[in-house]
Amino acid sequence: MIKEITVGELNPGSFIEEHVEEIRKAVGEGRAINALSGGVDSSVVTMLGHRALGSRLRTVFVDNGIMREGEPDRVSGLFRGLGVPVEVVDARAEFFTALKGLTDPEEKREAITQAFYRHVFGRIVKESGARHLLQGTILTDVDETVAGIKRQHNVFAQLGIDPEEAFGYRILEPLLPLRKDGVRVVGRALGLPEDVFNRKPFPGPALAARVIGEVDPERIAVVRRATAVCERHLEKLDVFQFMAILHADRVPGMRNGKRMYGRQIEVRCWDSLDARNASPTRLPWGTLEAVASDLLQELPDVVSVTYNIAPKPPSTMEAV
Ligand code: XMP
């Protein structure tokens, strides 16, 4: 059982001190490695690890080809600016090969897990000689995985999988007692800029969590464009998270006076405290119309734009 630290109980200063010490003790004279995605959790764990280990922490950004527009450069540049060197590894081909032909959500998640831990990151860790991997798993990830709601890609011990045996390294998860609100408080105390610690969460499987059916470079490009449109309109709103989802089915539509089978984009926007429950944001109709109008204009294949009004549960926030 992991003892939860609620945001009310959290003293960020002593939390940081304690975990810096713990990381130093675990790693000893060795080296640690971590993967940075730019999300709140991995950003906070990167800063914590950097504070504990300095240059003995190697931070890698794996470009898996399924990130948002410009993300590898933006994230690595931001951390370099904070004094944390980040290595960008181009693994796009490997991830798309692993995802080829898969349509089942669990199989897609599993393929991403395997491509990341066993192949790309596993290889980087082995070559680096690091015996410790720092990871930003939080309590909500564990809860949902144990409850069988979703196979989070970053939970092993809780599923009875020994990462040392399976992948050859030990995993350190300093954020385990926290939920997202607590992680943000720690991020602020670590000196991260507000747009990082208050950033909207983004899932490990990245845009693949928003592509129903097969994930390929072309379908990722569609959802990436749609995501950029949603960001433009929704980023500044006080909501927990929003997303554009590409559906698998094509539906009849009309473009330039001709019938065609077009793509369907579903927009979701969530109000939530900690992602365990969520309700769709009551967005103004004008905002929804503006999103739809830009999606239809910038994505010539799209003929249908819908807005999700089902809460979580029974929905999940992501589509995959
Ligand atoms: P769901 O879709 O499970 O999402 O309702 C709840 C929250 O978790 C994020 N999410 C993930 N985060 N790895 C992550 O790091 C994952 O595999 C993953 N799946 C979902 C999702 O974006 C939402 O904030």
- Break the chain into its structural domains and give their ranges: 12-197, 211-307
Query: What's the CA-to-centroid distance between 203 and ligand 1, angstroms?
Result: 5
Is residue 251 pLDDT above 80, yes or no? yes
In this structure, of 27-36, 136-145, 205-214, the range with the lowest mean pLDDT score is: 136-145
The first and second tokens of residue 14, run together, are 């002593």
What pLDDT is recorded for position 2? 86
Query: What's the CA-to-centroid distance between 42 and ligand 1, angstroms?
Result: 13
Pairwise CA distance, residues 12 & 18, whole Å: 10
Pairwise CA distance, residues 45 & 187, whole Å: 9
What pLDDT is recorded for position 267? 99
Which residues 6+ apart lie within 8 Å of 91 measured at CB?
62, 63, 64, 65, 115, 120
Is residue 279 pLDDT above 60, yes or no? yes
- The verdict on the CB of residue 268 being under 6 Å from ligand 1 is no
Q: Give the position, in ligand 1's atom list, of the atom nearest the Cα of 37.
A: 15
What pLDDT is recorded for position 217? 98
Is residue 164 pLDDT above 90, yes or no? no
Pairwise CA distance, residues 40 & 180, whole Å: 8
Percentage of the chain with pLDDT > 70? 96
Pairwise CA distance, residues 239 & 229, whole Å: 16
- The verdict on the CB of residue 318 being under 6 Å from ligand 1 is yes
What pLDDT is recorded for position 128? 87
Q: What does the pLDDT look like over 17-26, one tens digit per residue?
A: 999 999 999 9
pLDDT band at residue 151 under the 50/70/90 scheme: low
Mean pLDDT of the chain: 93
Pairwise CA distance, residues 260 & 252, whole Å: 6
Superfamily of domain 12-197 in CATH is HUPs (3.40.50.620)
- The verdict on the CB of residue 210 being under 6 Å from ligand 1 is no
Pairwise CA distance, residues 63 & 78, whole Å: 16
Is residue 153 pLDDT above 60, yes or no? no
Q: Where is pLDDT greater, at 166 or 35?
A: 35
The first and second tokens of residue 183, run together, are 């992680």
Q: Express the helix, strand and coil content of the chain in percent, nearest 5 each.
A: 45, 20, 35
Is residue 81 pLDDT above 90, yes or no? yes
CATH of domain 211-307: 3.30.300.10
Query: What's the CA-to-centroid distance between 208 and ligand 1, angstroms?
Result: 12
Is residue 157 pLDDT above 70, yes or no? no
Q: What does the pLDDT look like over 88-131, one tens digit per residue?
A: 999 999 999 999 999 999 999 999 989 988 889 878 888 888 88
- The verdict on the CB of residue 150 being under 6 Å from ligand 1 is yes
Nearest CA to ligand 1 atom 11: 203
The DSSP-derived string for 23-45 is HHHHHTTS-EEEE--SSHHHHHH
Query: What's the CA-to-centroid distance between 180 and ligand 1, angstroms?
Result: 11
Pairwise CA distance, residues 81 & 163, whole Å: 32
Is residue 84 pLDDT above 80, yes or no? yes
Residue 126 CA: distances (Å) to CA of 123, 137, 157, 167, 212: 5, 21, 20, 9, 34
One-letter identity of residue 94? E
Is residue 246 pLDDT above 70, yes or no? yes
Orientation angle between helical segments 180-189 and 40-53, nearest 10 degrees: 40
One-letter identity of residue 248? A
- The verdict on the CB of residue 204 being under 6 Å from ligand 1 is yes
Q: Where is pLDDT greater, at 156 or 275?
A: 275
Query: What's the CA-to-centroid distance between 253 and ligand 1, angstroms?
Result: 32
